[in-house]
Amino acid sequence: MRLVPVLLASALLLTGCGAGASGAPDSSEELARAYVGAINARDGERVCGLMTRAVAAELSVTDSNIPCDRTVAGLIGYVEDAGMPEFLRYRLGGVRSGATRGEYSSIRLSLEARRRSTSGEQGFETCSFEDTVWLTREAGELRIAKPSAALYIAAGATNVPGGVSAPPGLKAAGEDEGPQLIDCEPESGKQPDPEAAPHSAAGFAARTAQELSVSDVRCFEAEGSDGWDVVCKYFDPRMGERMKLAYRVDPLGAISSSGAVPGSMPLPPAP
């Protein structure tokens, strides 16, 4: 298991009860969507507000006076070493009821994580997995009773330790067998499609192919990685090599900046 700072290895394995925040979701499905949305937004305050108070306390670094919200916000998208995958965002495929153990109930999430390699190739990948989120009630409000695999993976874990899916305070069957690998597949990108939405990956691929007169174009949604929204790879016959071009799009849909480098070089952050 390769887990970012020591804080993650210790804090995320601990469980507890109690954490408050107004506007708590009324149903387990609403809570699940709020949880995934908060992780995608790097909103540490919201993630911690959905946890019980004890879990939020365990995700704090009291010795350094770092509260839960700052800890969680700093861990999401964290990259420990160059070449390790960078979490970009989740896509939630479904929510369904899980098991119940005493005061705890669970929900099952079908998640797809989009990640980017921080090596020179900066390849994109999708990782599909099933997550179990354990819930309880505190002061009448629904709360997450234990950090789930979604938080580990968003914080840079390449696999999930055994026992994460078990009810709070219990070991999972097979926990001693070691960490569970997640299923990741490299993305091939979108080919040019003139009929696609202009600012979709396929739309940018069509734009790149037409404006630059290049071939073998594949574009990826960069999800804001290094400030870019879309990254395209293509072969430039004039230079005789593969190139990489990134676009940044403003809120009105116009291209605000772009940058190109040889395919073997990482893109610099967007200006």
Burial class (CB in 10 A: 0-12, 13-18, 19+), 90: buried
0.85 surpassed by pTM:
no
Q: What is the mean pLDDT of the chain?
A: 84
pLDDT value of residue 220: 93
pLDDT value of residue 105: 95
Cβ(46)–Cβ(74) below 8 Å: no
Average pLDDT over residues 4-27: 48
Tokens of 245: 């071009």
Q: Residue 75 above 60 pLDDT? A: yes
CATH fold, domain 6-185, is Nuclear Transport Factor 2; Chain: A, (3.10.450)
In the chain, where the domains are located: 6-185, 188-262
pLDDT value of residue 257: 94
* Better-scored residue on pLDDT, 129 or 64: 129
Helix (H) or strand (E) holding 56: helix 53-58
Average pLDDT over residues 137-153: 93
